[in-house]
Structure 1
Amino acid sequence: MNVMNRKEEFIETYKTHIQRDGAQEFLDYLCSAKSDFFTAPASTRFHGNYPGGLVEHSLNVFSCLKDYLSRNRVKDVYGMEYSDESIAIVSLLHDVCKINVYKESVRNKKVNGEWVQVPFYEFEDKMPYGHGEKSVYMITPFMKLSREEAFAIRYHMGFSNDDPAKNVGYTFEHFPLAFALSTADMEATYFCDEQR
């Protein structure tokens, strides 16, 4: 699917599920010239490492989270019940910290014995405020997050981040949406997103 279709899909999904005060203003920011959300990659070398990879990854996380939370065991045994709005907010916006941090560049690479210049992305964060915490920081001036939504976004990297394990474990135990989002993020990263 091309970048424009993913942008349209994101906007439709966002508007369908997110009605909270400030939601339109945040979407306006995402669509503005101040943001490269719809053209940015999701990473430099791994999942979604191409133009539009970030929006594609966000939509994949949304699908994975909806699917995970629809399981009978998750609802009946774990008691995880969340509004469509909360699901959309945490999944679609968990990685807004990646806006405007990837810069296109070139590097030399040997191809068939010849050195050629190939494009690649460099990571250059002019607001190094962490990962999940930066996403929360970027969203909250526009719209209020519930405590569980904020913790889910903040800890969506789970145990793969530099956070002390006790903090991640505590968060997963007390804010199960964080565990669900982390699971959906990993599923999207390793099974849904492309790597080019």
Structure 2
Amino acid sequence: MTPNQEKFIELLKQVERPGIDNLCSYMMKDTDFFVAPASATYHGACEGGLLDHSLAVYDNLLVLANAFFESYDHQSLIVCALLHDICKTNFYRRGYRNRKNEQTGQWEKIEVYEIDDKLPLGHGEKSVMILQRFIQLTVDETMAIRWHMGGFDDAARGYAGAQCLSNAMKNHPLLVALHMADMATCYFTGK
């Protein structure tokens, strides 16, 4: 196990809920979580990118929680930060594309990640569904994970969806903090 894998499991085991051990076992045995990329072409588009991204979101969420909340349940911060993108497990496959080499002008075959979505349920909602097979989420955690993409979520682009997102953000500050931590991780650190 790598140091990041150990850190991830150690943090997750701090969550004292029925089913957390089954969730850890599922993630280690039945998913590619620890080697999956965080995206196909953007942040963390490399082996282990999803793990690195999740740990970086956790670090950023702690900073935001300490800055903006008098207190917040640490277990909720762990669950939201580490598991918000569990929907990306078993989601990518390796493929090949041709790319023109700028120096030689020759076409080269390069390895890339391609999306292979076998459970097309969306993004945040899929993460919530997967998690609730193993652990009970609080309403705040559910809202934070469901809407962590903020306005980038396709469901938020229409009027009704934008209203849902706005109401969720007003009533669940953990959602705003998770969204900010996720964006900071993607755009400030590239993870």
Aligned to 1:70, the other structure's residue is in SS state helix
Q: Does 1:165 align with 2:178?
A: no
Which moves more between the two structures, 135-144 or 4-13?
4-13
Partner of 1:35: 31
Q: CA deviation at 1:5?
A: 2.2
Q: CA deviation at 1:191?
A: 1.2
CA contact (8 A) 1:56 1:193 kept: no
Q: Which amino acid aligns with 1:8?
A: E
- Map 1:100-179; keep pairs closer than 5 Å: 100-111=90-101, 112-162=104-154, 163=156, 164-179=161-176
Partner of 2:10: 12
Partner of 2:184: 187
Aligned to 2:170, the other structure's residue is in SS state helix
Instruction: Please give the TM-score of this superposition, normalised by the length of structure 2.
Output: 0.93
- Map 1:40-51; keep pairs closer than 5 Å: 40-51=36-47
Q: Structure 2 CA distance, aligned partners of 1:161 and 1:75?
A: 25
Q: Any runs of at least 4 consecutive aligned residues in structure 1 with deviations exceeding 6 A, and if so which?
A: none
CA contact (8 A) 1:60 1:193 kept: no
The number of residue pairs the alignment matches comes to 184
Q: Equivalent pairs: percent with the same residue?
A: 39
CA contact (8 A) 1:152 1:178 kept: yes
Q: Structure 2 CA distance, aligned partners of 1:5 and 1:193?
A: 20
Instruction: Please give the TM-score of this superposition, normalised by the length of structure 1.
Output: 0.91
Aligned to 2:182, the other structure's residue is in SS state helix
Q: CA deviation at 1:75?
A: 2.4
Cα offsets for 1:31-74 (capped at 9, x unmatched) = 10x20000000000000000000010000000000010101xx1
Q: Structure 2 CA distance, aligned partners of 1:158 and 1:94?
A: 13
Q: Structure 1 CA distance, aligned partners of 2:53 and 2:175?
A: 17
- CA RMSD, Structure 1 to Structure 2 (Å): 1.2
Q: Does 1:69 align with 2:65?
A: yes
Cα offsets for 1:115-158 (capped at 9, x unmatched) = 11101000010100110000000000111001111010000001
Q: Does 1:93 align with 2:93?
A: no
Q: Structure 1 CA distance, aligned partners of 2:3 and 2:115?
A: 26
CA contact (8 A) 1:159 1:165 kept: yes
Q: Structure 2 CA distance, aligned partners of 1:191 and 1:38?
A: 22
Aligned to 2:62, the other structure's residue is in SS state helix
Q: Which runs of 5+ in 2 are unaligned?
A: none
Aligned to 2:113, the other structure's residue is in SS state strand
